Structure 1
């Protein structure tokens, strides 16, 4: 898991490089390379399924480059230390697994109609927008300290939670955080994972009823990863906020899928 949260070598931010510059940059380049291969195999024409797969991923990733500060508030950056799990994952796992569906579609994309491709594209686009809007609601809420409007409510419903930290001198200090109970965040405690998983399903869907697990392995992996992350985050918040987190869980009883789990 690593020893340091933000390690630097001669001023070089290791976590920023592995997560943002290397891993995510290849995630952009990988699908583009596979799309080029698909065009080579089809006399310069890009199959609809391949086009949808690449377009949805590029839109999803453009959200990161447009709103990099939003990623700086994620669990990867704020809480996970820069060790084997994070660095190897971003340098090796992301380029190989996150693009596996594009690799498959480069040579095995089935023929589909423009209508089918359009429906898949707009389904994925909707999920990407919901994922962005969910994260953006929380970001604005935190930046304004609750003095904002979310889905027509101003100020949005929230809980004022206190927690205790230890300063560098060893003294205990009481701090305050605001826990959002409005907008998409009243649906479940980790609602943003739902559209993220569904978006990955939609950009893998051009494989249709493939008998191979390859094009859908990323969806399965992402579901396991985010479910584990939700449990880890819940455990961390329960230890941090104690009784306030219990109050929050009473207001928002579902962890990920509203009405189910």
Structure 2
């Protein structure tokens, strides 16, 4: 079996962290329409989180590997490939889900990537889905999308974030719990956020939101949670 040293782990994580940051700048317009910006506004939580908490906590794996990499065991090629697949799939899911909702917020007749998304669903699961976006027209005005990623689970963008973070953590192996504090924090934070978002939307949309939750019943992972 081919063995690759830990130095490759820190390279992979660093590449994805750079990609993650670059993605935010490149798709800045789409970031401005996410729930955090639209509902929470620019307050203490956003300022402290973006300037202090996020830069420290989101880079904890690379910090850990930079200090411990020479002294810990090696990872196999198959293990690294598995972690890489988690990182790639998580990042793509995160970006695609956010783009779909962003474009839909401006044009309810268009969902980015819906046609090829449905093609893969058909090939993998034998399910035929219409390429015309499905949504609930609410009494309040905004439409609630349940096509594409948003027809699978309520927060598929956060699901992608979780998958990517699992890949980052696994690249640090299991020698210490410190790298895994990130995924623990992220999962707890997202679970709380999803429930908080659900309460806000319930108050905002009423029966329309209830109809949506009857259609899309899963929160993050279909048939799991």
TM-score (norm 2): 0.83
2:108 aligned with 1:145: yes
Distance (whole Å) between structure 1 residues aligned to residue 89 and residue 219 of structure 2? 22
Map of 1:249 onto structure 2: 213
Q: Which has the larger radius of gyration?
A: 1
Q: How does 1:229-244 map to 2 (within 5 A)?
A: 229-244=193-208
Q: How does 1:76-155 map to 2 (within 5 A)?
A: 76-109=36-69, 110=72, 111-148=74-111, 150-151=114-115, 153-155=130-132
User: Are the counterparts in 2 of residues 230 and 256 from structure 1 also a CA contact under 8 Å?
Assistant: no
**How far apart are 1:114 and its partner, in Å?**
4.5
Map of 2:124 onto structure 1: none
Task: Please identify which structure carries the higher helix content.
Answer: 2
Map of 1:192 onto structure 2: 157
Q: Deviations over 1:71-98 (max 9, x none)?
A: 1111221111333322122222112211
Map of 1:203 onto structure 2: 168
The 3 A distance-change label for structure 1 pair 158 and 62 is same
Distance (whole Å) between structure 2 residues aligned to residue 71 and residue 185 of structure 1? 17
For residue 147 of structure 2, the aligned residue among 182, 185, 190 is: 182
- RMSD between superposed Cα atoms in Å: 1.9
Map of 1:58 onto structure 2: 18
**How far apart are 1:50 and its partner, in Å?**
0.9
Q: Deviations over 1:217-246 (max 9, x none)?
A: 111111111111111111111111111011
3-state DSSP class of the match of 1:179?
strand
2:31 aligned with 1:71: yes
The 3 A distance-change label for structure 1 pair 256 and 119 is closer
Q: How many residues align?
A: 204
Instruction: Give unmatched runs, 5+ long, in structure 1.
Output: 1-44, 164-175
Distance (whole Å) between structure 1 residues aligned to residue 13 and residue 152 of structure 2? 29
